[in-house]
Structure 1
Amino acid sequence: MGVFTMPSLGSDMESGRLVEWLVAPGDRVNRGDVIAVVETQKGAIEIESFDAGIVHELTAPMNEDLPVGTPLAVILAEGEEPPAGPTAPTATAEPAPETEPVAEPERPAPAVPVAASPPAQPDAIRPASPAARKRAGELGVDLTGVSGTGPGGAIVLADVERAAPTAPRPAPNPVEEMRKAIAAAMTRAKRTIPHYYLSETLDVDPAMRFLEERNADKPPTERVLLGALFVRATVLAAAKVKEMNGHYTEESGFAPSKEVNPGVAIALRGGGLVAPALADAVNMTLDETMSGMRDLVSRARAGRLRASEMTRGTITISSLGETGAEAMTGVIFPPQVALVGLGAPHLRPWIVDGAIVPRHVVTLTLSADHRVSDGRRAARFISEFETALKTPEAL
């Protein structure tokens, strides 16, 4: 029997809000199937099952903040019999005392009997659509007092609008909440990770000429951007310099990763930042890398990322794109041990074969963890990155 629990989607996550089930009791699920949607400070994340089998029971309430590790569902393996008793404790059950009861002397009954008030019962959890829950939060509507007109009495958006008070509370600011989460995570990272930084300015004219020729007769949906070359160069360098690719924890130290799963920093519309990862990117072609990046950007901005994409990253790339500042220095995303920061290309005088010529250059800044590597290993990583970028047709 597998107990599906609230997963941790980052070092800064303490709890999540279950907002949607995509399965019901009796459904068959495979490992990796998306079965629920959890809302965190970084947006709505699709949660995948770690077990295969039959959904026996959904044990967690909807639309409540639940700590990481809270049981959400029970999944039975193929052919496994359901447990005889309840699989999750009820909220009102009290454990029986383990000590023997002590006899008390008889006491006279009170002259006037006192009626004990029954304990208050928690309000029933009413089914509601995700849109209704979101709007209720914006308007300050208590769903326990709303009558639902949807299927099975579920509360829908129109029910919430009808129940809204005349002077609604200000809507919560998701961007502000995300900023708080990012600030907390980065503060912790800077406090606990001994960062060091190496920078190098690289000639990217060969890469830009390659892209110009390659994209000349391609529709926009099939064009490759410079960022995809940066991801490929990072992946190839990380595969050769393993001290930059993996996870560090206080309990077990550094564990290099067998795969290179580059986290791609994505700026969300309206503000905020997430860094979902591409899986096993070493084995991707350049076109597959570009396609994977487009997919991540699209789903990140639609709030449909998966839990595994938020947790499997082994190194992160953060690029300012094709316009902006010359350089950036990033903070490592724990438990990772390195982050590649890339400024925008700028036209600068450059020496080529003894002559000064105009070239497009990019400044790379590598942030690395001194508990795992040192300057020589970081310098080798940058050298491998530069070598890969000099032959973009081989990426």
Structure 2
Amino acid sequence: MIEFLMPSLGADMEDGTLVEWRKKPGDFLNRGDIIADVDTQKGLIEIEVFEEGVLEKLLVEEGLKVPVGTILALINPDGIAGKKSKGQPMDEKVPIQQPIEETRPVSFEEQNSETKRIKASPLAKRIAEAERIDLSSISGTGENGAITKEDVENAIATREGVAEMEKPKGIKMEIAGEPEKGKAGTEQVGMEQLKEAVPEKKPMGTVPPVEAIRSAVAAAMSKSNREIPHYYLEKKIDMSKSLSWLKEANSERPVQKRLLPAALLIKAVALAVDEVPALNAVWENGLQLKNEINIGFVVSLRTGGIMVPAIHQADAKSVDEIMEVLNDVIPRARALKLRSSELSDSTITITNIGEGSADKVFGVIYPPQVAIIGFGGISEEPFAENGLLGIRPIVHVTLAGDHRATDGLTGSRFLGALNKYLQNPETL
């Protein structure tokens, strides 16, 4: 019997709340299936299963908060016993331990005795509370008329559709100090701009996601500074050839398919790590080298804080495929809608502060990884090559390494390999 555990989604995660089971006993599980939704400091995460078999038994009830490593369910790899249970009532879910105590305000649904009798999944109740949706006005489509997440989302969509039809095309707002636009001091402002100008009200008593994310990041970085002996290296890399290659490649692509420098940098890092595999590792009871090169890419959230989703097997992907992944993952990361594997599988991390920003960034290693690469903004600087001085687009690349796992010689070899690939972008 395979034990399915509460996964660790990073060094900053100690526990998670099992919000909703997506599968029931008797269901056959394929590798990559979403088995549950878990609430963490990083948002509501879809948890994948990486074993095939029949879901035999659920051991933790929806709504319980349990530590990382807790057995959540049992999976029968043979599927013999599980197949017999198909069509039978779901086994009683027995929590294997007491939930972690957590104080929270009483929701407006819980204050209403009529609402408490409404059958709805925990996730549906949570979304309804956050969006101020009256569950009594929704007809459930789940088992025995239970209200599901999809029912609540449909109600929200309906409400927003009505609001869209009723709202005015625009409003007049006084803009102090603005030049004349039609009438002096006024400007036509769309509702989307007004929505950004006026902060959205949050349910009372809830912790804003950005604060929880910042706390999680701070915990991981504090652990890193305490436990990891960092060393730092820096190299200036001429980006002339890479940018010229990108310009030529993008001239043949439609706008939506154009490549960004970040995709090229990720590919170059993946190939350089393939040459220097000691950096593609984790430190867990000693050094453990990883076979797959999964590049963690730091994404800044618009409300503050960061998320670090993984780009799986980046060395085997083309630059175009990496760009497609970025276009998919970045919006989901900013919406806090990542999967568990995207948060837990990184083997080395890149932080890239983008153009027009600081010249250098010195990263802090994300445990249990052993290295992080930082790319500053690309800017024009004097650069000498073969005795000639010129102005070139330069990027300052830094490497923070774990001195328990590697040393400066290993890091220097990596930066040399990275430079080689960026000087020959056609090989990427």
TM (normalized to structure 1)? 0.81
Written as runs of structure 1 = structure 2, the 5 A alignment for 1:19-58 is 19-58=19-58
8 A contact 2:18–2:65 mirrored in 1: yes
Deviations 1:155-192 (A, max 9, x none): 8759x99xxxxx96254211011100100110001100
Deviations 1:16-65 (A, max 9, x none): 12223322333221122122121211122211113212223333222332
Is residue 178 from structure 1 mapped to residue 171 from structure 2 by the alignment? no
Written as runs of structure 1 = structure 2, the 5 A alignment for 1:330-349 is 330-349=363-382
- For the residues of structure 2 that align with 1:315 and 1:147, how far apart are their CA atoms? 48
Mean Cα displacement is larger for which, 292-301 or 331-340? 292-301
Name 2:264's counterpart in structure 1: 229
- For the residues of structure 2 that align with 1:38 and 1:227, how far apart are their CA atoms? 31
Name 1:197's counterpart in structure 2: 232
Shift in CA distance, 76/87, structure 1 to aligned 2, threshold 3 Å: farther
Written as runs of structure 1 = structure 2, the 5 A alignment for 1:1-395 is 1-81=1-81, 89=94, 127-128=120-121, 130=123, 132-136=125-129, 150-151=140-141, 152-154=145-147, 169-249=204-284, 251=285, 253-395=286-428
**Amino acid corresponding to residue 191 of structure 1 in structure 2:** R
Residue 323 of structure 1, CA deviation:
2.5
Residue 135 of structure 1, CA deviation:
4.8
**Alpha-carbon RMSD:** 3.2
Residue 89 of structure 1, CA deviation:
4.4
TM (normalized to structure 2)? 0.75
2:361 partner SS = coil
Residue 148 of structure 1, CA deviation:
7.8
Shift in CA distance, 261/90, structure 1 to aligned 2, threshold 3 Å: closer
Deviations 1:51-93 (A, max 9, x none): 2122233332223322223333333333422599x78646899
Shift in CA distance, 7/168, structure 1 to aligned 2, threshold 3 Å: closer
2:320 partner SS = helix
Mean Cα displacement is larger for which, 335-344 or 74-83? 74-83
2:271 partner SS = helix
Name 1:116's counterpart in structure 2: none
Runs (4+) of structure 1 exceeding 4 A deviation are: 86-93, 123-126, 146-149, 155-158
8 A contact 2:130–2:203 mirrored in 1: no
**Amino acid corresponding to residue 219 of structure 1 in structure 2:** P
- For the residues of structure 1 that align with 2:219 and 2:281, how far apart are their CA atoms? 22
**5+ unaligned residues in a row in structure 2: which ranges?**
86-90, 99-115, 157-201
Shift in CA distance, 92/385, structure 1 to aligned 2, threshold 3 Å: closer
**Amino acid corresponding to residue 16 of structure 1 in structure 2:** G
8 A contact 2:46–2:339 mirrored in 1: yes
2:267 partner SS = helix
Residue 277 of structure 1, CA deviation:
1.4
**Amino acid corresponding to residue 389 of structure 1 in structure 2:** L
8 A contact 2:62–2:122 mirrored in 1: no
Deviations 1:218-249 (A, max 9, x none): 12221111111111111111111122111111
| Larger fraction in helix | 2
**Amino acid corresponding to residue 128 of structure 1 in structure 2:** S
Mean Cα displacement is larger for which, 230-239 or 289-298? 289-298
- For the residues of structure 1 that align with 2:79 and 2:203, how far apart are their CA atoms? 52
- For the residues of structure 1 that align with 2:64 and 2:97, how far apart are their CA atoms? 17
Residue 129 of structure 1, CA deviation:
5.9
**Amino acid corresponding to residue 282 of structure 1 in structure 2:** D
Shift in CA distance, 330/168, structure 1 to aligned 2, threshold 3 Å: closer
Shift in CA distance, 54/92, structure 1 to aligned 2, threshold 3 Å: closer
**Amino acid corresponding to residue 264 of structure 1 in structure 2:** F
Deviations 1:179-221 (A, max 9, x none): 0010011000110000010011111111111111110231222
2:426 partner SS = helix
8 A contact 2:60–2:94 mirrored in 1: no
2:69 partner SS = coil
Q: How many residues align?
A: 355
Residue 369 of structure 1, CA deviation:
0.3
1:81 partner SS = helix
- For the residues of structure 1 that align with 2:95 and 2:334, how far apart are their CA atoms? 38
Residue 366 of structure 1, CA deviation:
0.2
